[in-house]
Chain A
Amino acid sequence: MTVTNSNGNADSATATITRAVPRVKTLKELAAQEEREKRFQGGHSLCAGCSIPVMVRSVLNTIDIPVVVVNATGCLEVATTRYPTTAWNVPWLHVAFENAAAAASGVEVAFRVLKRKGRTAQELGFELPGEVRVVVFGGDGGTYDIGLQALSGALERGHRFTYICYDNEAYMNTGNQRSGATPPLAHTTTTPVGRESLGKLQQRKDLTEIAVAHHVPYVAQASISHWQDLVRKVEAALRADGPSFLNVLAPCQRGWGYEPCLTVEIARLAVETRFWPLYEVVEGEYRLNALPKKPKPVSEWLKTQKRFAHLLKPENRHLLDELQLQVDREWEKLLRRCEGRVLEV
């Protein structure tokens, strides 16, 4: 783990942050956790090469104490819990598409109040755990769009829970329709490329910033390609005494159009091209978590995916340039917010 400012020099202000950050679990420690308790297991019907369960496993193996998972409707939900099958060996709840954060509020408060009231096993009919963490998984449709209100309410109310958005940039469960997370110019089935169309014509919503605006203790953007960074963020999120929010880039082989084996590589490229910067906001303070030494042009990422194939045509060169400008602009904005604070694992 290194803490540097953007010039690469150690900085006394950020050095204190280093000491505050505990050691991150190693892969061996994560594997040991899964050997002890396989919280998520095979037998689900997510696509071969799906990134979502990769993220779910990292999250669940990072947590040592009991966890309750709340899931918004979406790929993860339908493909892991077809009755009577389930991939989950932890308590798991799904209520609907747009309300995962609200349902999680109820679980969190229920635990807290039953604990406070000192309810015994005799009264309840079961033993309350000493501690429990509530973790929500929702896709971008269930988080950026239809679930935004419930998420906002739950963040504002200050529940101690961790909401993790697996962002695959469209409604993939229904077959790749445009969402508020879909990047500009991407082909989806509701923003198809055609003679009169170049894909989605609008900007992507910056959900991470929306979460930050709720003044919650911990918000971060992560990617399934950077497991160490993700694990550290899950640990930080769980330590936060209040709501925490992680926005995790989760490529979709079917919707994005690439070979399933490339899932991790494509997520990595999104970070290395600065399309998806890794950063965190701790008590309102921004820190950059990946400072690509030699940032690649965004076209390196776009060209790996069929949904952007039309942008590689010579006549669409200007669109590609425009996207690059936008990525650069966003990156500069983020750097200004980070004020030289960089924390990489």
Chain B
Amino acid sequence: MTIEIRWHGRGGQGAVTVSKVLASAALQCGKYAQAFPEYGPERSGAPVKAYNRFDDKPIVIHCGVYEPDRVAVLDETLLSTEDVTQGLSGEGGLVVNTKRSPEEIREATGYPGSIVCVDAEGIAEETGSRYANVPLLGALGSILPFMRLEALEAALRKALSRMKPEKIEKNVEALRRGYAETQTLEPDPKRLQRYEARRAQDGLPSYQELPPGGVITPEVRECPETGGWRNERPDFREELCVNCLLCWAHCPEPAILTDHQTMTGFDYRYCKGCGICAAVCPTEAIVMVEERGEATGTPEPEDAKAPAKGGVGG
């Protein structure tokens, strides 16, 4: 039987890394396995996807995963910006890194199938492993029928072999806790039918509708919001502001609002929460606060100093 998995994370959170660890563990459990990322021009902090495919037979197909059996969400801010349940079978399972309850996640996503919540972020902090991806890997492993914790541990140790031994142990501890500390909500058959009916098509334009030559004309142009990338948000303490506009001058988006050349706040539709504005503010009129107490991003474990892998172009 084929089992397919989709991981949702942000560039730099290690979704690709854990998808590979999971595949390696599956191999030790006697499964044929694939792990593959979705490459795009996105950068650190942008939504990314990674996939797994497992089977008892050798896997020969190399196409994408459209109807995953499990979805793992590394960063719960993605629940509001991405369609994380797209194509997910009602018979499958949704695993989320969150402090919230599975009931709340069902409300937020409308997903009627099995929902597994784990405070991967909290576990990562407590164990000192730093990365939410590892506890989430444990949680996902716990709902895969063929998976054994020992296999996950061995695969993780192998993947982290270049780290210091104590760091590896912290990660293994985080993995075990993620495996054990899950809250599960059973499927809701009443919602299932409605959910299955909703699974639909992408609705993109046909080739005849596009302007010739790949030109982006004002008519076809889109401008996506990037506020969902944020883990921290700038907070404006207007009384301290001297309107030097240094924040405005150094914002990469731009997401600093001005009115008659006076700083008035932030355009949270685009702000990615980089914190440059707070860093350059001479009067502490801007401070970074946690984004509504939700998950924070963490760098990719295996090479935190290198930029996102798999860019395009040159």
A–B direct contact (CB < 8 Å): yes
Does B145 have its Cβ within 8 Å of any Cβ on chain A?
Answer: no
Which residues does chain B contribute within 8 Å of A31, judged by CB atoms?
245, 248, 258, 261
The reply on B27 being an interface residue by CB < 8 A is no
Closest to B42 in A: A45
Pick the interface stretch among A115-123, A159-167, A237-245, A256-264. A256-264
Interface bits A26-55 vs B (CB < 8 Å: 1, else 0): 011011101100101111111111111110
B314 touching A174, Cβ below 8 Å: yes
Residue pair A85, B307 in contact (C-beta under 8 Å): no
Q: How far is the CB of A252 from chain B (nearest CB, A)?
A: 7
Residues in A183-215 with C-beta less than 8 Å from chain B: 187, 189
What's the Cα separation between A264 and B279 when bound, in Å? 8
A189 to B278, CA, bound (A): 31
Could you tell me which A residues sit within 8 Å of B by CB distance? 27-28, 30-32, 34-35, 38, 40-54, 57-58, 73-75, 77-79, 81-87, 97, 141-142, 146, 171-176, 187, 189, 224, 227, 252-255, 257, 259-265, 306-307, 309
Interface string of B217-241 (1 = CB under 8 A from A): 0001111111001100000000000
Q: How far is the CB of B287 from chain A (nearest CB, A)?
A: 11
CA distance A52 to B46 in the complex (A): 17
Chain B residue contacts of A97, Cβ below 8 A = 313-314
9-residue interface stretch from B59-67, B87-95, B267-275: B267-275
- Cβ of B288: which chain A residues have Cβ within 8 Å of it? 261
Verify if B190 is at the interface (C-beta below 8 Å from A): no
A83 & B214 in contact (Cβ 8 Å cutoff): yes
Which B residues are in CB contact (< 8 Å) with A44? 226, 253
Residues of B whose CB lies within 8 Å of any CB of A are 11-12, 40-46, 214, 216, 220-226, 229-230, 244-246, 248-255, 258-261, 267, 269-276, 278-280, 288, 304-314
- Contact for B253 among A42, A58, A260, A309, CB less than 8 A: A42
Closest Cβ of chain A: how far from B277's Cβ, in Å? 9
**Interchain CB contact under 8 A, A47 and B245:** no
Q: Which residues of A contact B221 (CB under 8 A)?
A: 84-86
- Whether B226 pairs with A42 at a CB distance below 8 angstroms is yes
With A27-B248, A78-B313, A254-B44: A261-B274 Cβ-Cβ less than 8 Å: yes
Q: How far is the CB of A23 from chain B (nearest CB, A)?
A: 17
Residues of A within 8 A of B250 (CB): 54, 224, 227, 263-264
Closest chain B residue, CB of each to CB of A58 = B249
15 A-B residue pairs with Cβ-Cβ distance under 8 Å, sorted by A, are: A41-B254, A47-B46, A49-B275, A50-B252, A50-B274, A52-B252, A54-B250, A84-B221, A172-B307, A176-B306, A254-B12, A261-B275, A263-B252, A264-B279, A307-B305
Taken together as a complex, chains A and B put the C-alpha atoms of A189 and B288 apart, in Å, by 32
Given contacts A27-B246, A48-B273, contact A175 B311 (CB under 8 A): yes
- B251: which A residues are within 8 A, CB to CB? 54, 57
The CA-CA distance from A214 to B12 in the complex, in Å, is: 42
| Distance A263 CA – B297 CA, assembled complex (angstroms) | 18
Q: Is the CB of B273 within 8 A of A254?
A: no
The smallest C-beta distance from A147 to any residue of chain B, in angstroms, reads 10
Closest to B256 in A: A31
Instruction: Name the B residues within 8 Å of A146 (CB-CB).
Output: 314
Find out whether the CB atom of A306 lies under 8 angstroms from the CB atom of B305: yes
In the bound complex, how far is the Cα of B45 from the Cα of A45, in angstroms?
Answer: 9
B46 contacts A45, C-beta separation under 8 Å: yes
| Pairs of residues from A and B, 4 with the lowest C-beta to C-beta distance, nearest first | A42-B270, A261-B275, A254-B307, A49-B274
Q: Which chain A residue has the least Cβ–Cβ distance from B272?
A: A48
| B249→A261 contact, CB < 8 A | no
